[in-house]
Copies of this chain bind each other. A is one copy, B any other.
Amino acid sequence: MKGYSQFCPVAKGAEIFNERWTPLIIREMMCGSRRFNDLKRGNPMMSPSLLSQRLKFLEQAGVVEKKTGNNESVEYSLTESGRDLGEVVTRLGLWGLRWARSRLTEDDYDPQLLMWDIRRRIDTSAFPPGRVVLSFMFRDMPSNRRAYWLVVENGDVDLCIKFPGFDVDLTFVTTSKTMADIWMGHTTIRKETSNGNLTLEGSRKLKSNIDDWFTCSVFSDPEALRESLT
């Protein structure tokens, strides 16, 4: 994007921030993604070349830092400037939560993206030792996007799009929209199980302490998020 030829700080900020995908890349980093392919998984519709291009630009702009480990591994992270810019992202998200919710289209409810979000917010410390397998069935989706599994083990959570072969401890049966609404805090697991939009099948224990380990999106608690802004 070409510049605005204005000295105004809003214009100079917009020259960096107001590009396609940029807030979403920063959002991913704020959520802890540091690897190229993780950033890409958080933005599946973005082409790798464009992601690469943006990362280079953001690095040059002092927002993102690229570190190459001695084992050739590459990590991206936010600089202090980038973390500051994160507050703009947060505020934009708070605005979107309040004012852009009505603009959600069917296309927006991508279950894979939802699962990727859920994956990184699962509180593994609330699980018993050993392996726990969760499965999610989205009734409204075509067969190739209907089923997902989360395998929780040793503090790690793996997202699978094919049956991992392990016994399933708890199954969520619902629609992508219901699940996303729960995720965003527009409704609760309790409400949606009551009205039948969500069915939980499996371990009674996992069901009973679900609020301990199923951590919703940071946007599900706008008040807390707002207070986290300086």
Contacts and interface: CB of A to CB of B under 8 A. Distances in A.
Q: How many copies does the complex hold?
A: 2
B13 A92 contact: yes
A14 interface: yes
B113 A180 contact: no
Contact of A93 (B9, B22, B63): B9
Interface residues of A, number: 60
Contacts of A9: 92-97, 100-101, 184, 219
A32 to B, nearest CB: 15
Secondary structure dominating the interface of A: helix
Contacts of A224: none
A96 B10 contact: yes
B93 A87 contact: no
A87 B91 contact: yes
Contact of A15 (B4, B17, B103): B103
Nearest to A222: B9
17 contacts: A6-B43, A6-B110, A6-B113, A9-B95, A9-B96, A9-B184, A10-B96, A11-B108, A13-B92, A13-B99, A14-B92, A17-B95, A84-B99, A87-B95, A88-B88, A88-B91, A88-B95
